[in-house]
Structure 1
Amino acid sequence: MKKYFTVISLILTFFNNNPLNAKIVVGYYYANYSVYPYTAIEYNKLTHIAHAFVKPNADGSLSMDSWFLYPELVAAAHQHGIKIVVALGGWGNSDGFSPMVANPLTRAAFVSNIIDFCLTNDYDGIDIDWEYPTASDRSNFVSLVKELREALNNVGLEFLSIALPSTDWNNGYDVKQLINYVNWFGIMTYDFYGPWEKTSGHNSPLYPSPLQSSSTSSSVNYYLQKGIPKNKLCIGIPFYGYDFKASELFAVHSGASAINYASVYQNLISGWDYFWDNTAKVPYLMNKSRTEVITFDDTNSIKLKSEYVYKNNLAGTIIWKIGQDYFNGSTPLLDIVEKYMLHHPRNVPSIPQLSFPFNGAVIDSDNIIFKWYATDSTTSYNLQVSENENFDSFVINESGINFTEAKLNNFENNKTYYWRVSSSNINGNSSWSDTWSFITDFPAFVANEYYAAKDFKLYNYPNPFNVQTKIGFTIASDAVVNLALYDILGQQRDVLVNERLQSGNYEFIWDANNYSSGVYFVRINIVYPQNNRLMRLNKSIKILLIK
């Protein structure tokens, strides 16, 4: 009896004293022992592992694949101070649930068998992934969960959780009863679109959009209205997406298949076009021939989902499944989950530095790409453009920008504009950056071929490279030169040159010791004064870093 009250006390302390800061990060581990072995897992980036799956049988017995038992995984989790639970059921493994829970005798046998299994194999609890109970199973499911909770408490095991569909379309979950026995509910807020739908669509949007009403936020609101407390609700984050044979997003497809993030990234670096749905707050890719669309989550969308968890005081997240972002020894998606979910920024971000348009620049186009440098622990940026340096009124006043640039147009000719940027996260906004100005001058002007073709060069060697590469360029006359480095997502990572230079040849060494392997782009912007007007030239080259 003393052990029972100790466990209950621990559970209540976890959920009542840490509703905001002690977030849950549950990584499902399934069927990837050789590609992503237990030695590759960065356990400090998780709070729990759900080891999937053990199958319940109608008679109350258990079955599992021959490869399921993985004592090294269990031992490593405990050695690193995190908990590991056994996940029951899953897609295609849940047929035994309904007949088992309907009979008190088989239900009791199942409870006894799974408790013995946990004790024998050193699991810390149970995750129920029944896909899916129906209305006729509601009361029996509650009985199962109640009996599991009592049995777990009796042997000193802490955790009992339930994976929920995005909505309870079968009316199979009596959540008002279940919340009394469950540590957390993990909503499977993914698979909103897939091969079963007629058109392509987002796999896991954060917010609804005009063409897709289903979303993570919609599912959260649905279950909150059903009575699940915020501090027992986890959203789902997928480390995979869907590759649709379609001409565009929300177009009819001729087939689709799941694709893990590691493969999505390979398409990124091979030249697929990246798009961002600023309403749904998720990305998608399209190939150059416009015959395929991939919807997925990346580091930007996961930042925003992490912030959503904090803003709404939710318990945390479940991940299906860890290892799908594992390549070249790195896990970029799990890194972001750890940084923004487990160790969410506690302070406002630092003030961004502006990059382009240069202070005092004369701009010869009404399509302007504003650029600034990324600041750490930032989820979005705010941009203001005004016709006066006091910003008493605004030409542009845009917030929620998720990248370090914004393309804007419709500026008037022969005017001076002022612009500034601030960084944002859940803690608030940074102070505004320095204010820079630019002047618009839109002449009808054709670039001189002498500059454009004969003496304008950009090159680098070696390429590919593993530590350092030499980047060089030639300019034909005095000019303002900006030479910058961008990653595959278009994020500016470094500036090598940003100054006025005389005509001639220039070379610079880029040291990539602190950068990860992948494709990068070097872009040069050159502004020549000519006949009291400005001529801008630009060029980009792709370089490959292999470590």
Structure 2
Amino acid sequence: MKKLFFAIFPLALSISCNIDRTSKDNSENSPNSIDNIDFISQRHLQNQKFDTLNFKTEEQWDSLNTITHKKVLHKKGKVHPDIRTFGWHIYSNGSTYKNYNFSMLWGLSYFSYAVQPETGSYKSIHQWKTTSLIDSAKTKGCKVFFSVSNFGSKNNTTFLRNQKAQNTLIDSLSSLLALRSADGINIDFEGVPKKDKKYFTKFIIEISKSLKQENPNYMVSLCLYAIDWNDIFDIKAVDPYIDFYTLMGYDYYGSFSKKTGPVTPFKNSKKFGNGLETSVNYYKNKGVHFDKLIVGLPYYGVEWYTKKPETGTVVTKFKSHPRYQSIRRLYIDSLKIPIQFDPKSASSYIIIKDDTNQYRQLFFEDVKSLSIKYDWIKSNKIGGVGIWALGYDDGYSEFWDLLTEKFSQE
């Protein structure tokens, strides 16, 4: 059986793909392709939200996010030896890992080493040096990776044109990987300008060669944008140096959207534009082999204010990117709002009407939508599935149980 790669993500680089550039439906909702205007992904927004908090412990993050460590029972199972499941743990999710079903994870990535663009050192590595997450993962045979992130066109230009800063980053990463006996890195550079493509390609090759020279067992993975509008990725050049790719198969609609739509539409449609299937085929045509591709899916939703209840209607204001935990607790369990389903995009959504005759629309993934996309990934022998992010479903078991149902050896 061909070895598969499955990732529970993290969100990795921002949306950017050379797919159907003339599509009116998609261009209205996709990130701007102009170099000096940065697309802001859900990952980037979250980083901005928490960047000013100088928390030193996971307990502080737990308090901020009201994490209670309510025990959740998981279906018994162990990830199939020919399947790789990979997940991102975000620093702001504190100690939610105490409820992770590590038996269903091949690997996870700690998010993140936030690059200081001028020097290559880190703005923060959060609790990388101290977190018990790494020990808990290794006890269950789960590999551990370290995400490396840099957001924004200006930051990327500054860093990618500074060889000294890149050398500092490589040396720093080498020490930090060795400190926790980690298995490699996941590169998440978002908003790389088109003018810096050759510098980005050179950096990817150099960091891979340097780390593998330090430890031949290190694995280097690269986050791909769902839509590569600026044609940033030179797959032919970097492929020999990349062990696997993580496609950020989300943020097709988000804070930037003029109309409402799914976070991850499945198939291309006139109503919602390009979807996951189109993104995967794009990278296949660029030279990404399916057995090296992990398709990331979201454990969060996107919510807007609108004047009309119909999906695809004009947005009056972006509200938030709620995690699945909040969607379940606030809307489904408490308010009992019925879940609706759009077959074409294979996405779930709910419509909320408030007292002023305004509406809120919330698109998200649930067991029904994820099952369809998991089955498609399996039937096409794509390397795997990734979900951003671990802990977004804290307190609920259905997503872990779905992983067991689809990917367990038992």
TM-score after normalising by structure 1 = 0.56
Matches within 5 A, 1:149-160: 149-154=208-213, 155-160=215-220
- Contact in 2 for aligned 1:142/1:177 (Cα 8 Å): yes
Shift, 1:164, TM fit:
1.0
Unpaired runs of at least 5, structure 2: 6-79
The change in CA–CA distance for 1:70 and 1:239 in structure 2 (over 3 A counts) is: farther
Find 1:258's aligned residue among 315, 321, 325. Answer: 321
The change in CA–CA distance for 1:51 and 1:170 in structure 2 (over 3 A counts) is: same
SS at match of 1:254: strand
Shift, 1:84, TM fit:
1.0
Find 2:363's aligned residue among 295, 298, 301. Answer: 295
- CA distance in structure 2 between the aligned counterparts of 1:95 and 1:118, rounded to whole angstroms: 27
Shift, 1:90, TM fit:
5.2
1:145-187 per-residue CA deviation (whole Å, 9 max, x = no partner) reads 2222222222243311111111211222111111111111111
The change in CA–CA distance for 1:126 and 1:136 in structure 2 (over 3 A counts) is: same
TM-score after normalising by structure 2 = 0.74
Match of 1:268 in 2: 332
1:252-287 per-residue CA deviation (whole Å, 9 max, x = no partner) reads 122221111112113123221221111111111112
- CA distance in structure 1 between the aligned counterparts of 2:282 and 2:389, rounded to whole angstroms: 24
Find 1:50's aligned residue among 99, 102, 109. Answer: 109
SS at match of 2:315: coil
Find 1:82's aligned residue among 142, 146, 149. Answer: 142
Match of 1:510 in 2: none
- Contact in 1 for aligned 2:174/2:211 (Cα 8 Å): yes
Match of 2:168 in 1: 109
Matches within 5 A, 1:107-506: 107-154=166-213, 155-246=215-306, 247-256=309-318, 257-266=320-329, 267-269=331-333, 270-287=335-352, 291-327=359-395, 330-340=396-406, 342-343=407-408
- Contact in 2 for aligned 1:189/1:235 (Cα 8 Å): yes
What amino acid sits opposite 1:332 in the alignment? E
- Contact in 2 for aligned 1:32/1:323 (Cα 8 Å): no
Match of 2:3 in 1: 18
- CA distance in structure 2 between the aligned counterparts of 1:65 and 1:152, rounded to whole angstroms: 18
What amino acid sits opposite 2:340 in the alignment? F
Between 1 and 2, higher relative CO (CA 8 Å, sep ≥ 6) is seen in 2
- CA distance in structure 2 between the aligned counterparts of 1:283 and 1:164, rounded to whole angstroms: 25
The change in CA–CA distance for 1:18 and 1:66 in structure 2 (over 3 A counts) is: closer
Unpaired runs of at least 5, structure 1: 1-15, 346-547
- CA distance in structure 2 between the aligned counterparts of 1:300 and 1:292, rounded to whole angstroms: 22
- Contact in 2 for aligned 1:27/1:318 (Cα 8 Å): yes
SS at match of 2:170: helix
Q: Rg: which structure is higher?
A: 1
Shift, 1:110, TM fit:
2.0
- Contact in 1 for aligned 2:110/2:145 (Cα 8 Å): yes
- CA distance in structure 1 between the aligned counterparts of 2:123 and 2:154, rounded to whole angstroms: 12
Match of 1:427 in 2: none
- CA distance in structure 2 between the aligned counterparts of 1:83 and 1:118, rounded to whole angstroms: 12
- CA distance in structure 1 between the aligned counterparts of 2:302 and 2:162, rounded to whole angstroms: 39
- CA distance in structure 1 between the aligned counterparts of 2:374 and 2:380, rounded to whole angstroms: 10
- CA distance in structure 2 between the aligned counterparts of 1:221 and 1:147, rounded to whole angstroms: 28
- CA distance in structure 2 between the aligned counterparts of 1:344 and 1:201, rounded to whole angstroms: 36
The change in CA–CA distance for 1:85 and 1:274 in structure 2 (over 3 A counts) is: same
The change in CA–CA distance for 1:144 and 1:50 in structure 2 (over 3 A counts) is: same
- Contact in 2 for aligned 1:87/1:127 (Cα 8 Å): yes
